Structure 1
Amino acid sequence: MPVLSRGKHRNPRRGACFMEMASVLAGERWSDHPSCTHPLLAQLARQVNDNTNDADRQHLVHLIPSVVGRRGDADTWLAVAVAVATTAILDVPETRQRALAGGLLQAERLCAGHPGREPVRRQARAALDSVPGAVAWVDQLGLRNPISEKTFARLCAPTMVRCAVEGVVTTGRPDTDRRLRSLLEAGIAACPAPEPEPVSSVVPPRSSGARPA
Structure 2
Amino acid sequence: MNNLDLAVPVLSRGKHRNPRKGACFMEFASFLAGEPWSDHPACTHALLAGVARDVNDCTTDAGRSRLAPLIPSVIGLTPEDPHVVPRVTARCIQHALPVVSQERQYILAVALLVGEKHLADLDGRPLGDLEAASAAVLETVPAATKWARSFTARSHRSTPDFARRTAPRAVSCAVEGISQACVRDPDDRLYKLLVDAIEETKAWMPAPEPAPVSPEVVRFTV
TM-score (norm 2): 0.81
Work out which of the residue numbers 18, 29, 32 in structure 2 matches 1:25.
32
1:69-109 Cα offsets, whole Å, 9 max, x none, are 11122221111101110111111111111111001111121
For structure 2, the residue ranges without an aligned partner over 5 or more in a row are 1-7, 217-222
After alignment, is 193-202 or 57-66 more displaced?
A: 193-202
Cα offsets for 1:117-164 (capped at 9, x unmatched):
89983433332233221111224445442633x311122111210111
Moved over 6 A (4+): 116-120
Tell me the alpha carbon deviations over residues 30-83 of structure 1, each in whole angstroms, 9 at most, x when there is no partner.
100001111111111111111111121000011101111111222211111011
**Residue 165 of structure 1 aligns with which residue?**
175
- The answer as to whether partners of 1:106 and 1:146 remain within 8 angstroms in 2 is no
Aligned to 2:4: none
Q: How far does residue 191 in structure 1 lie from its aligned partner after superposition?
A: 0.5
Map 1:1-213 to 2 at 5 A: 1-73=8-80, 74-115=82-123, 121-141=131-151, 143-145=154-156, 147-148=158-159, 150-192=160-202
How many corresponding residue pairs? 203
Could you tell me how far apart the structure 2 residues matched to 1:199 and 1:111 are? Answer: 33
C-alpha distance in structure 2 between counterparts of 1:108 and 1:199, whole Å: 37
Q: Highest CA radius of gyration, 1 or 2?
A: 1
Please say if residues 18 and 61 of structure 1, whose CA atoms lie closer than 8 Å, have aligned partners that are also in contact: yes
Distance 1:2 1:14, change over 3 A: closer
Structure-2 change in CA distance of 1:120 and 1:76 (3 Å):
farther
Tell me: CA distance 1:192–1:28, structure 2 relative to 1, closer, same or farther (3 Å). same
**Aligned-partner Cα distance in 2 for 1:3–1:163:** 25
Deviation by residue 1:154-201 (Cα, 9 ceiling, x = unmatched): 221112101111111221433111111111112111113555586676
Identity of aligned residues (%): 45
RMSD: 2.6
Aligned partner of residue 97 in structure 2, secondary structure: helix
